[in-house]
Structure 1
Amino acid sequence: MDPWENETLLWHDEFDDTEINPQNWSVDTGKNSGWGNHELQEYTPQNASIQLVDKATCLVITALRERHGWTSARLKSKDRQVFQGGKIEARIKLPQGQGMWPAFWMLGENIDQHSWPACGEIDIMEMVGGNVWPNSDAIVYETLHWGSSREHLLTDPNNFYRLSQGRFSEDFHTFGIDWTPGRIDWYVDGTLRGSHSLRRRSMGTAFQQPFYLLLNLAVGGVWPGYPDETTPETQSMAIDWVRVYR
């Protein structure tokens, strides 16, 4: 059962057009010194496209091992679509393999004024593929980050959910949050999997402001580790839709 079936749809992108909608998304480019996590990929617009996946028209983000290194894509709704609270959900088919790091997440709109992590971060879904832990391709995580500076980073212990069988690369799954002024509840496939209180004094107003959305597939980094001989030459993250309800 969809817990949000009776909610009002505020905004959505079904990725049904032939191209990515520039009113909703911009595409990051470059390596940006590893994006703060010692990642390997260079982000390019060419690695994000609209394709048919399992009979669904999807945004497909592809990580590709090329002669000069790995390329991939990262999209964000910054300066286009921002949200404060609500029910935020996406239907995604994940990649697999050592070093793959797909994510559906949010950052505070004030990041240019206050930087990270003071702006706040909501990780709605992250997966670190391969052999980081047994059956890592079957585990997803949800986390909050905030703090006055990188040296004073605070993290609410991440919630995680493990499939009882199979991997997240074998089918589409939904990942979402229900964000109210006092808490964030985390859902996978329509079932509540974890919660966070937003009443901590250290949070200040970090989660009482608009946030923008991000979708990306990183390669390598401190958390997932790095690709090895078992990692496929190409892996993709397929996003069927992103929806925001009130």
Structure 2
Amino acid sequence: MRSTMRSTTTQPRSTARSRRRLLGLAPALALGLLFGLSATPGLTPPAAAVGGSFTDNFDSHNGGRWNKADGWSNGGMFNAGWRADHVWHSGGVLGLNLNNTPCPGGCSNKPYASGEYRTNELYSYGRYEVRMKAASGSGLVSSFFTYTGPSDGQPWDEIDVEILGKNTWQMQTNYFTNGTGGHEAVINLGFDAAAGYHNYAIEWRNGNIKWFVDGRQVHEENGSRGALPTRPQRIMMNLWPGTGVDGWLGPFNYTGQKTATYDWVRYTQY
């Protein structure tokens, strides 16, 4: 999704599942075609990232670093629009609420509203870490991921940590390069990710991506299943209910507000 902060078009699920991040897709895509932005992945060295190492303990909202999505929807399988007032800070915790508050206008009249938080800057190779507690419930996704796309003047690259609310004892990993995904892996956590805070990390280097849970490596991709992303990306978190993807997420039935919470985020530049 991101730098212009709009998203009204969704990639088909066959290209994979994280497709949430296509803000400003139509105009950005036109620019991409005009300037040839969809270069072959893996053949272009990563552009210089703007952002350097940081730790954010979420004591308060840092507008110089983060942006709250507001007043629009990703469309497609996302059955909620983003509202800035659904992102909150309290007691050193960042929270994302999902409820049935109206989100009219640019939210495409979605029946639910939720929160999304993302960095203003893009970041390249390094270690991305979060301490989070997921929301539970069929049809839900609690996420921590990196993303860039046409709205940043780049092809769609992405690296995912997703907790599916239908089974919060598991984590799903995935990555996209130049819009091509389909690299999912399901990791058995050995604990309930919605019952307490745990540390999740993505270590992204030139040639591999590794995922860690509570300091333990649980998965690695080395490009054997498809070229790895190379382009600087935003750090993002969101909570959303699915629609039309019951086979993946399970059916979503609203039973009251759901919340995903984040204790801290850290990025270490490599």
The TM-score range, normalised by the shorter chain, is 0.7 to 0.9
Secondary structure in structure 1 of the residue aligned to 2:53: strand
TM, length-normalised to structure 1: 0.76
Deviations 1:184-206 (A, max 9, x none): 11101110000011477x63xx6
Of 182, 190, 193, 1:155 maps to 182
Aligned alpha-carbon RMSD (Å):
2.3
Q: Encode CA deviations 1:165-192: one digit per residue, 9 max, x unaligned.
A: 4x21111011111111110111011100
Q: CA separation in 2, counterparts of 1:173 and 1:51?
A: 19
Unaligned runs of at least 5 residues, structure 2: 1-51, 104-110
Aligned twin of 1:64: 99
**2:142–2:240 CA contact under 8 A, matched in 1:** yes
* Residue of structure 1 aligned with 2:202, choices 128, 152, 177: 177
Distance 1:40 1:30 in 2: 14
Q: Distance in 2 between matches of 1:154 and 1:60?
A: 28
Asked whether the equivalents of residues 109 and 209 of structure 1 are also in contact (C-alpha less than 8 Å), the reply is: no
| CA displacement, residues 82-116 of structure 1 (integer Å, 9 cap, x when unaligned) | 211111100001110112111111112664434xx
State the number of aligned residues. 208
Letter in 1 for 2:59: D
Cα 1:199–1:46 change in 2 (3 A) is: same
Q: Provide runs of 4+ in structure 1 moved above 4 Å.
A: none
Q: Partner letter of residue 93 of structure 2?
A: C
**1:98–1:233 Cα change, 3 Å:** same
**Equivalent residue for 1:139, pick from 170, 189, 193:** 170
Partner of 1:119: 156
Q: Which amino acid letter does the alignment assign opposite residue 163 of structure 2?
A: M
> Relative contact order: is structure 1 or structure 2 higher (C-alpha 8 Å, sep ≥ 6)?
1
Unaligned 5+ residue runs, structure 1?
1-8, 131-135
Residues 182 and 199, structure 1, Cα contact 8 Å, conserved in 2? no
Which amino acid letter does the alignment assign opposite residue 29 of structure 1? D
TM-score by length of 2: 0.70
Residue in 2 aligned with 1:218? 240
Where is the strand percentage greater, Structure 1 or Structure 2? 1
- Counterpart of 1:238 (choices 261, 266, 269) is 261
Amino acid at match of 1:70: Y
